[in-house]
Structure 1
Amino acid sequence: MVSPTAQMMATESAAARTPALQRVRFTPEMFHRLGELGLLDDETRYELIEGDIYPMTPEGAEHAALGTVLAYRLMERRSQDWHVRVEKPLRLGESEVIPDLAIVPGRPSDYLERHPETALLIIEIAHSSLPRDRLLKLPLYARAGVPEYWIVNLSERRVEVYRAPAGDSYQEQQVYAAGATLAPLFAPDWVLAVYDLLHCA
């Protein structure tokens, strides 16, 4: 009969011989190479968040309709200093994400050879994606120094506004209901009705 001590020593010896599992952290270059090789499903869009590849949450009808309306509204105001990108990649450090809407510096022609590496404002429209937008994307955007992040929260009919990035979060967090107005930091004279951010009317 094998003693408990001998069993424990045998288990520890086997564990010592087993190589430690290593986590593969993908870089944007590896991420793109996987796509070029056809190893990612062509029917699915993916995001690279700090080394991990995530399939994007399927977009519901209201999400899609509101995203289109918001894009039109944001594009009504034109500037030579910034422009609106709709569901286009951002390269944030070693991550490559596809926010619903991002206002980035410069003109579209500035990004013919690379994706933008920052944004003045990122807007995510959230319903089923709310946990990811809060738990995964918010810390990423804060660490990347994105100065302002809005979550258009369709479940609770409000807009969550995050400002002043610091470490893994934002120092300023406010919630705006449908009757309020809101202005982005980069254009404080541009007053938007929160109701219009929540509805397609």
Structure 2
Amino acid sequence: MTALATMEPTTTRKIVLPAPPCTVDDLLKLPDDGTRYELFNGSLLVSPSPASPHQRAIYRLQCILDHAAPSELEPLSTVNLRVTDKDYYIPDLVVVPADTAQLMFSPEEITLAVEVVSPSTKMIDKVLKATAYSAAGIPIYWRIELDEGPTLYVYELNGDSYDPPTAYKAGAVANLTVPFPVSFDPAELDRPRR
């Protein structure tokens, strides 16, 4: 006689997204499932966790910035940036005051916001984030295009909008003075591990 195992049906957890327009409070009620939820004027932006080249670039840049930053500033990855009740972003990397420990940051605390572009976020990072970050008054925005060598695009706030970006291509050292002096070749962001 053979014993038969009873198989319980597996259940999948269904996530119910809030009806638009969404608020930051709506997002905080969603489960932490590894999906990145952001808000632009109450519209939900959903993207998967970044792939390894994206994560590698964030880590490499965070190390470069951490080494160069003055003691009163600190680079952090994937923080919560609450601009308004209907505008909420998760920049790949930011520079903030070193003495902060909180769940949500406001634009006034962000000295630099960085986005590493993924194929699925190219237009969001190039257009939407540049517009949103400048409107929020974030003084400096860096966009990193990995498929361009990589290339670093530096935006600086001039009034209420960013000037056209300055591009720094792989193979040439970017000597930057804001938010603090730092020099690096964008090629370092996707170099193999040593």
**TM-score (normalizing by structure 2):** 0.75
Report matched runs for 1:94-109 at 5 Å. Answer: 94=85, 95-104=87-96, 106-107=97-98, 109=99
Q: Is the 8 A contact 1:121 1:184 kept in 2?
A: no
Q: Is the 8 A contact 1:65 1:200 kept in 2?
A: no
Alignment partner of 2:66 out of 65, 68, 75: 75
Q: Does 1 or 2 have the higher relative contact order (CA < 8 Å, sep 6+)?
A: 2
Q: Which has the larger radius of gyration?
A: 1
**Two-structure CA RMSD over aligned residues (Å):** 2.4
Dislocated runs of 4+, deviation >6 Å? none
Q: Flag the structure with higher helix content.
A: 1
> Quick one: distance in 1 between partners of 2:34 and 2:103?
25
**TM-score (normalizing by structure 1):** 0.73
Q: 1:123 to 1:114 in 2, by over 3 A?
A: closer
Q: Which runs of 5+ in 1 are unaligned?
A: 1-22
Q: Is the 8 A contact 2:116 2:144 kept in 1?
A: yes
- Equivalent AA in structure 2 for residue 182 of structure 1: N
Q: 1:114 to 1:155 in 2, by over 3 A?
A: closer
Q: Which runs of 5+ in 2 are unaligned?
A: 1-18
Report matched runs for 1:6-155 at 5 Å. Answer: 24-32=20-28, 34-35=29-30, 38=31, 42-94=33-85, 95-104=87-96, 106-107=97-98, 109-112=99-102, 114-118=104-108, 119-128=110-119, 129-155=121-147
Identity, % of aligned pairs?
23
> Quick one: distance in 1 between partners of 2:115 and 2:176?
16
> Quick one: distance in 2 between partners of 1:200 and 1:75?
20
